[in-house]
Structure 1
Amino acid sequence: MDAPRWTALLSGWQSGTGPLYTRLSGHLRGAVALGQLAPGEALPAERALGTLLGVSRSTVVAAYDELVAGGWIIRRRGSGTRVAAGVPRQARALELRSPVRVGAAGGDLDLTVAVPLLSDAQRAELSGAVAGAFAESLYHPLGLPELRAELAALYTREGLPTTPEQIVVTSGAQQAISLIAGALLRPGDAALLETPTYFGAIDVFRAAGATLRGVPVTAQGVLPDDFAAGARAHSPRLAFLTPTFQNPTGAVLPARARQRLAGTVAEVGLPTIEDDTLIDLGFGEDAPPPRLACFAPDAPIFNVGSLSKLYWAGLRVGWLRLPGGEGARGLGRVVMQAKTLADFGGGLPTQHLALHLLRHLPRLRAERRAAVTPARDLLAGLLRAELPDWQFTLPQGGQFLWVELPTRSASSFIHGAARRGVRLFPGASMAVGDLPDAYLRLPFTLDPAQLPEAVGRLRAAWHEHQQRGERLA
């Protein structure tokens, strides 16, 4: 059984009222109706699913019985339990790796998504920063000209000469990644990604029909030799890398390794997305090494950025920097056309807000560092005190702890934590290929006042998980 996949598919199944078996059958019925489970697709064995969800086998049997009675699934000796062939056929839907709020109880503590918390002072600043947003009613498909110029100047100051014509403003970094993947990938193409990596990129590349190939992330990030070997072996059409404060591990690729990676990208002409969304979230005073693209300015490297992690996710303003080399300009034109077709351009008020914020970028970075560093240290200290057998390395930037648990059933633990009111994300869902089901990505962006309660609930859930494992053994 693919435990991370079924954990994602059954997220929130316990919400609602009634016996557990009716909640489970209802959730599975909904997955079939939405096209997430296709006709003829196999369901897990009762005992395996019960173990994953932390319920008795009889609960799963009762849920399956209800689905059989309704004609949703069939049981056959020797072939197990499968979705019935005659269920209403829907367009096939992905089981998204990206966590969403589905059926979360009001008292739940959410550790699946990392977003900054706005202060009252920040709300006041945003309210007063849109004075020029209503002066015109034009479409700007590639972004507000002043914002494109500001972003180009930012890249240039940071060692990557850029013109405003190379900037495309998007609805968050996620749209930027989606535009590039949609423009460059076709079904069956290979895509080369770090593993583990950002779940949103995994979803986008899977939706494009790509075959995903992984390059392992070490404590020093992706090893250049591994990346070069993957590029030679799989002939990918697109690659995705996060050299700075990698999501989820927090690794920072050294300058020498960046130079070698950039050389490979340039040599093979491999279009590559360099995800810069966490680049402003360093905890020290020293700047990280230059961007990957700085080492090969003419290579087909697309830089993607956003204000969602630095300031406010609700702004939904991101951007991408198109490659500047002659050989890559054709790729840029395809992406610009895709952006125009998508929405004729983002909202002007939010772009004016982004322009205001970018003009105060050093202050924003300092404020974010001052807010997040104590939260990181608090969460790390609580985990070391309450759950000392959980292992992690304190990151020098980003917004996550990448935690290894002494178990090979972290997905099962996640369901136990949900019963305690803590929403978690299985680290194995961030893998491209095999990754032991032993990891959690824990953000330290939750309100610091809630972190002690969150860790207390995790400790109680972990104790239950260990006891249940001992009983099953």
Structure 2
Amino acid sequence: MTVTENVSAPAPAAALPPLAARARSIGGSPVRDILAVTARPEVINFAGGLPAPELFDAEGIAAAYRDVLAEAPARALQYSTTEGVPALRAALAARTTVRGLDTGPDELLVTTGSQQALSLLATALIEPGDTVLVENPCYLAALQAFGFAGARVVAVPGDEDGIDPAALEELVVRERPKLLYTVPTFSNPTGRTLPVDRRAAVARIAGRCGVWIVEDDPYGELRFEGERVPWIASYDGAGDRTVLLGSFSKVMAPGLRLGWLRAPAALRRACAVAKQAADLHTPTVNQLAAARYLADRDLDAHVARVAAVYGARRDAMLAGLADALPAGSAWTRPEGGMFLWARLPEHYDTTALLPGVVRHDVAYVPGAPFHAGEPDRATLRLCFVTQTPDEIAEGLRRLGEGLREVRR
């Protein structure tokens, strides 16, 4: 007897639900994309925002980790409080106070890099559709963080000194934003620093009109000329509405992923709850090692050595730009930090030109993605800290050669 088995074809799999709209609408970092393309060792890369690795105090950091793990391994490898290890918060509060803003440990929340602080603030403050004001151009990852939160991001007009206070006040009155985000000292991407009078004006506007200020300061200690400018948070009227962000990424090492925020109590508590949902707390061993480093070593002396090297590298880049860039170009002259900003003549498009330039084994970041509104396609960002002066000179030679060739 023959038995016939009735085997039906499997039903087609149902389509999966789509990604969230915010994940579909926010692109990746153009800087990260460029770094992936230009990872070849022969490329002189002015695109990254990477501190010079040969200047890390690797010995001092390693000693701090060894001491912490030898003396308190159970504590170092255990869960910790969301707000941060008390010893590190106390050290950070002391450093902030010495730099001109009286701060107690309980006013700080330790974050996994200051980038996480931006994400926590976006979670705690922004509802979809809220308006966020930013300087123009603006730090790329801030635009990403606010975009993921569903914010409507509006650029504040400015000039070579940064935000125009009159334009800011007009936008605050008209748009009723939740916050203003700024990197007022050695800005990423421009390298410019907001002058004292404009900082005072920003503080007055925030107090008079009712808006949060998020003051991001990852580069402020890397000054190689000029006088230090006070934080906006230190001005009258700004104290109860300014969030100050800091980081060890540029002055100690980015791999530690250690940042912090200083904020009024209610907002700080909201950020702590958001952090609990994100990662519970920043790694304990990293925090304890940083606190030990601050206790045993002179971070200020280390930063001064780094800043001196960076100043020489900035000078090397400034010395070669006139020959590398086309006639009619202009660029900033930062007093510190890691970046300078250049603008080529109007008919240049630095995004379109980049692939041809990369064939000459040199890279930059096109300026267009740093703009919240209409991009200026003739702009570009150059990082001057990762290469030696000789490498910078060679990189600029390649850049000039590449720009001339792709424009033929």
Query: TM-score of the superposition, structure 1-length normalised?
Result: 0.75
1:341 counterpart (258, 263, 277):
277
8 Å CA contact retained: 1:97, 1:430: no
2:243 counterpart (280, 302, 312):
302
User: Following the alignment from structure 2 to structure 1, what is the Cα–Cα distance between the partners of residues 127 and 121?
Assistant: 12
Q: Which amino acid aligns with 1:396?
A: E
2:314 counterpart (370, 376, 380):
376
Do residues 405 (structure 1) and 352 (structure 2) align? no
Q: Which runs of 5+ in 2 are unaligned?
A: 1-14
Q: Which amino acid aligns with 2:27?
A: E
User: Following the alignment from structure 2 to structure 1, what is the Cα–Cα distance between the partners of residues 142 and 246?
Assistant: 14
Per the alignment, do residues 196 and 312 of structure 1 end up closer, same or farther by CA in structure 2, a change over 3 Å counting?
Answer: same
Aligned Cα RMSD in Å? Answer: 2.2
Do residues 363 (structure 1) and 301 (structure 2) align? yes
Q: Which amino acid aligns with 1:333?
A: R
1:96 counterpart (12, 16, 28):
28
User: Following the alignment from structure 1 to structure 2, what is the Cα–Cα distance between the partners of residues 119 and 105?
Assistant: 18
Within-5 A mapping of 1:123-142: 123-130=58-65, 131-133=67-69, 134-136=73-75, 137-142=78-83
User: Following the alignment from structure 1 to structure 2, what is the Cα–Cα distance between the partners of residues 386 and 256?
Assistant: 35
User: Following the alignment from structure 2 to structure 1, what is the Cα–Cα distance between the partners of residues 218 and 57?
Assistant: 20
8 Å CA contact retained: 1:166, 1:322: yes
Aligned length: 376
Q: Which amino acid aligns with 1:191?
A: V
User: Following the alignment from structure 2 to structure 1, what is the Cα–Cα distance between the partners of residues 90 and 287?
Assistant: 12
1:186 counterpart (127, 134, 156):
127
Aligned to 2:50: 115
Secondary structure of 1:128's counterpart equals helix
Aligned to 1:53: none
1:420 counterpart (354, 360, 378):
360
| Superposed displacement of residue 159, structure 1 | 2.1
Per the alignment, do residues 357 and 375 of structure 1 end up closer, same or farther by CA in structure 2, a change over 3 Å counting?
Answer: farther
| Superposed displacement of residue 446, structure 1 | 2.3
Aligned to 1:394: 333
Deviations 1:83-116 (A, max 9, x none): xxx9996552521245214344523332222221
Q: Which runs of 5+ in 1 are unaligned?
A: 1-85, 324-328, 468-473
Deviations 1:112-148 (A, max 9, x none): 2222123377211111112125351242211111111
Secondary structure of 1:319's counterpart equals strand
| Superposed displacement of residue 319, structure 1 | 0.7
Aligned to 2:9: none
Aligned to 2:11: none
2:376 counterpart (419, 428, 436):
436
Query: TM-score of the superposition, structure 2-length normalised?
Result: 0.86
Deviations 1:383-406 (A, max 9, x none): 223336232132111111101112
Secondary structure of 2:153's counterpart equals strand
Do residues 266 (structure 1) and 207 (structure 2) align? yes
Aligned to 1:171: 112
Higher relative contact order (CA 8 A, sep 6+): 2
Q: Which amino acid aligns with 1:242?
A: V
8 Å CA contact retained: 2:203, 2:238: no
| Superposed displacement of residue 340, structure 1 | 1.9
Per the alignment, do residues 167 and 135 of structure 1 end up closer, same or farther by CA in structure 2, a change over 3 Å counting?
Answer: same
Per the alignment, do residues 215 and 357 of structure 1 end up closer, same or farther by CA in structure 2, a change over 3 Å counting?
Answer: farther
8 Å CA contact retained: 2:180, 2:212: yes
8 Å CA contact retained: 1:269, 1:299: no
Identity %: 32
| Superposed displacement of residue 155, structure 1 | 1.6
Per the alignment, do residues 184 and 121 of structure 1 end up closer, same or farther by CA in structure 2, a change over 3 Å counting?
Answer: closer
Q: Which amino acid aligns with 2:362?
A: V
Secondary structure of 1:113's counterpart equals coil
User: Following the alignment from structure 1 to structure 2, what is the Cα–Cα distance between the partners of residues 281 and 216?
Assistant: 26
User: Following the alignment from structure 1 to structure 2, what is the Cα–Cα distance between the partners of residues 94 and 345?
Assistant: 26
Per the alignment, do residues 444 and 259 of structure 1 end up closer, same or farther by CA in structure 2, a change over 3 Å counting?
Answer: same
Do residues 162 (structure 1) and 103 (structure 2) align? yes
| Superposed displacement of residue 300, structure 1 | 1.3
Do residues 453 (structure 1) and 385 (structure 2) align? no
User: Following the alignment from structure 1 to structure 2, what is the Cα–Cα distance between the partners of residues 252 and 357?
Assistant: 30
Secondary structure of 1:99's counterpart equals helix
User: Following the alignment from structure 1 to structure 2, what is the Cα–Cα distance between the partners of residues 217 and 260?
Assistant: 14
User: Following the alignment from structure 2 to structure 1, what is the Cα–Cα distance between the partners of residues 16 and 376?
Assistant: 34
